[in-house]
Amino acid sequence: MKIVFDSTCLEYSKGHVEGPYRSESAFEQLKESGLHFIKPKPAAEKDVLLVHTKDHFERVKFGKYWEEETPVIDIKYPLLSAGAAINAAEIGGFSICRPPGHHAGRHFLGGFCYFNSIAIAVAKTGKKTAILDIDIHHGNGTQDIFLGSKDVLYLSIHESPQYPGTGLVSEKNCFNFPLPSGTKEDTYLKYLQKCIQEISKFKPEMLAVSIGFDTYCQDSIGNFLLKEESYKKIGEAISKLNTPKFFALEGGYSEEVGKLALALITGVEG
Ligand SMILES: [Zn+2]
């Protein structure tokens, strides 16, 4: 699997937990393991407008917003991260760029997310796609964008109660599996199997994975108890789906992001 990364995404830091160490940890660890890297091209405005309103694009462009966890940054960073997801979709790769995206909806941002990178990448392919969101947070932005769509199936396993407080029930094409704090690997993998069954029934042309490593037992935000080897098992389960796939990094707030990403890739590639 090729890794999509540009060190430009390490340039900005806003002093909160979503810092450059996350992508840097992934880069260092994956480089060491000999994986091949490619540099992304930034997304164009027209790509962003596939899933976001023009007003939203311009608010990000001109910094006309205030959100406590999602401070104003140069638009080049979310554009590059969205472009990295697009590139990952094209080559069946794994984007480790930041900022993350799954909390950004058609007309809103939040939770460190500005543009919804995975949604933009999925919309740009125009393919029938299942989006498996295995970050510890519900991808309220992704659900907002695709709720009711015939071409996209959205599935999320997330902690509840937890930010942003959505995803408590399944609606239309969006399947939500809220699980309590303290959830361990065996329970987690059972719900992952349910997701895999639903994806198989949907028969997608592509699988997009919003991967968050904030389900790790030592994460500073999440309260699940997954271990390093759990990610290999998650990768193995996903690899059973016989469809082209790509991955985009969402959360994960420990120094171990790189190690966990490598375990996941090892599982996917067998
Ligand atoms: Zn998260």
Q: How confident is the model at residue 14 (pLDDT cuts 50, 70, 90)?
A: confident
**Alpha-carbon dihedral sign for residues 256, 36, 245, 41:** positive
- What's the rounded Cα separation, in Å, for the pair 254 and 209? 20
Dist. CA 133 → ligand 1 center (Å): 10
Q: What was the pLDDT predicted at 216? A: 98
Q: Check whether 15 has a pLDDT greater than 90.
A: no
Q: Which of 208, 263, 257 is nearest to 88 (CA)?
A: 208
17, 171, 174, 202 from 195: Cα distances, Å: 29, 15, 11, 11
**Alpha-carbon dihedral sign for residues 161, 166, 172, 176:** negative
Dist. CA 131 → ligand 1 center (Å): 15
Helix (H, G, I), strand (E, B) or coil at 155: strand
Q: Which amino acid is at 85?
A: A
Dist. CA 135 → ligand 1 center (Å): 5
Please tell me the least confidently modeled range out of 60-69, 101-110, 150-159, 167-176: 60-69
Q: Which amino acid is at 147?
A: L
Asked if residue 40 lies in contact with residue 97, where contact means CB atoms within 8 angstroms, the answer is: yes
Mean pLDDT along residues 59-85 = 96
Mean pLDDT along residues 90-94 = 98
- What's the rounded Cα separation, in Å, for the pair 116 and 101? 4
Q: Check whether 16 has a pLDDT greater than 90.
A: no
Mean pLDDT along residues 213-232 = 98
Dist. CA 215 → ligand 1 center (Å): 8
Q: Check whether 159 has a pLDDT greater than 90.
A: yes
Helix (H, G, I), strand (E, B) or coil at 42: coil
- What's the rounded Cα separation, in Å, for the pair 253 and 49? 29
Q: What was the pLDDT predicted at 68? A: 86
Dist. CA 262 → ligand 1 center (Å): 18
Dist. CA 93 → ligand 1 center (Å): 20
Mean pLDDT along residues 216-236 = 98
Q: How confident is the model at residue 92 (pLDDT cuts 50, 70, 90)?
A: very high
pLDDT digits (tens, 9 = 90+) for 166-188: 999 999 999 999 999 999 999 99
Dist. CA 247 → ligand 1 center (Å): 15
Q: What was the pLDDT predicted at 65? A: 93
Dist. CA 141 → ligand 1 center (Å): 12
Q: In 134-244, where do the E strands start and end?
A: 152-159, 174-179, 206-211
- Per this entry, what is the length of the chain? 270
CA angle 184, 139, 185 (to 5 degrees): 10
Dist. CA 5 → ligand 1 center (Å): 20
Q: What are the residue numbers of the active site? A: 103
Q: Show the tokens assigned to 132.
A: 């498996």
Mean pLDDT along residues 140-145 = 98
Proportion of the chain above pLDDT 90, given as a percent: 97
Integer distance in angstroms from the first to the last C-alpha of the chain? 11
Neighbours of ion ligand 1 (CB under 5 A): 135, 137, 212, 214, 251
Asked if residue 224 lies in contact with residue 136, where contact means CB atoms within 8 angstroms, the answer is: yes
- Please report the domains of the chain, with CATH numbers, ordered by start residue: 3-269 (3.40.800.20)
Q: How confident is the model at residue 72 (pLDDT cuts 50, 70, 90)?
A: very high
pTM above the 0.95 mark? yes
Q: In the chain, where do the E strands start and end?
A: 3-4, 37-38, 94-95, 129-133, 152-159, 174-179, 206-211, 245-249
Q: What was the pLDDT predicted at 233? A: 98
- What's the rounded Cα separation, in Å, for the pair 108 and 114? 8
Q: What was the pLDDT predicted at 138? A: 98
Q: How confident is the model at residue 205 (pLDDT cuts 50, 70, 90)?
A: very high
